[in-house]
Amino acid sequence: MASDSDQEPKQLHVLLVVILQAHINPMLRFARCLASKRVHVTLAATETVRNHLRHRSNLFATATKDSMTEFQFFSDGLTAEFDRDKNAETFATLQAVSAENLSKLIRNFSTKKSKLSCIVFNPFAPWVADVAAEHGIPCALLWNQACAIFSINYRYYKNLLNPFELMECPGIPNLQVNDLPSTVLPSTPVHFRKLISDSARCAEKASWVLGNSFYELEREIIDSMECLVPIWPIGPLVSPFLQGKSEADDDSLDSAVHADVWEAEESCIEWLDKQTPCSVIYVSFGRVTVLSQKQIDNISTALKNSGRPFLWALKPPAEGSKRDSGELSCGFLEETKEKGIVVTWCSQEKVLMHKAVACFMTHGGWNSVLETVISGVPVIVYPEWTDQPTNAKLLSDVFKVGVRVRINGDEEDGVVSAEEVERCIEEVIDGPRAAEMKKRAMELKEAANKTLEVGGSSDQNINEFIKEISAKSL
Specify the amino acid at residue 394: L
As a whole number of angstroms, the distance between CA 398 and CA 350 comes to: 26
Between CA 301 and CA 348 the distance in angstroms is 23
Residue 97 sits in the same domain as residue 214: yes
* Residues 389 and 426 placed together within one structural domain of the fold: yes
d(CA 109, CA 369): 37
Please indicate, yes or no, if residue 245 is contained in any of the structural domains: no
Question: Tens-digit pLDDT profile for the chain (474 aa)?
Answer: 334 444 445 689 999 999 877 778 899 999 999 999 999 999 999 877 776 665 454 554 454 455 688 999 888 877 666 666 566 555 555 688 889 999 999 998 866 567 899 999 999 899 999 999 999 999 999 999 999 999 999 999 888 888 777 678 999 999 999 999 988 888 888 877 888 888 889 999 999 999 999 999 999 999 999 999 999 999 999 998 898 876 545 555 555 444 444 454 578 999 999 999 999 999 999 877 888 889 999 999 999 999 999 999 998 755 554 455 678 888 998 999 999 999 988 999 999 999 999 999 999 999 999 999 999 999 999 999 889 999 999 999 999 999 999 986 555 566 899 999 999 999 999 999 999 999 999 999 999 999 999 999 999 999 999 999 999 887
Whether residue 382 is contained in a domain is answered as yes
Q: Give the CATH number of the domain where residue 215 resides.
A: 3.40.50.2000
Which strands make up the sheet holding 208-211, listed edge to edge? 69-74, 40-46, 13-18, 118-121, 139-143, 208-211, 232-233
CA-based max dimension of the chain: 84
Query: Does residue 1 sit within a domain?
Result: no
248 part of a folded domain: no
Which domain, by its residues, includes 169? 11-239+453-473
pTM equals: 0.90
Query: Tell me, what DSSP letter sits at residue 389?
Result: H
In a domain, 364, yes or no: yes
Note whether 380 and 468 are same-domain residues. no
User: How many domains does the chain divide into?
Assistant: 2
151 and 184 assigned to the same domain = yes
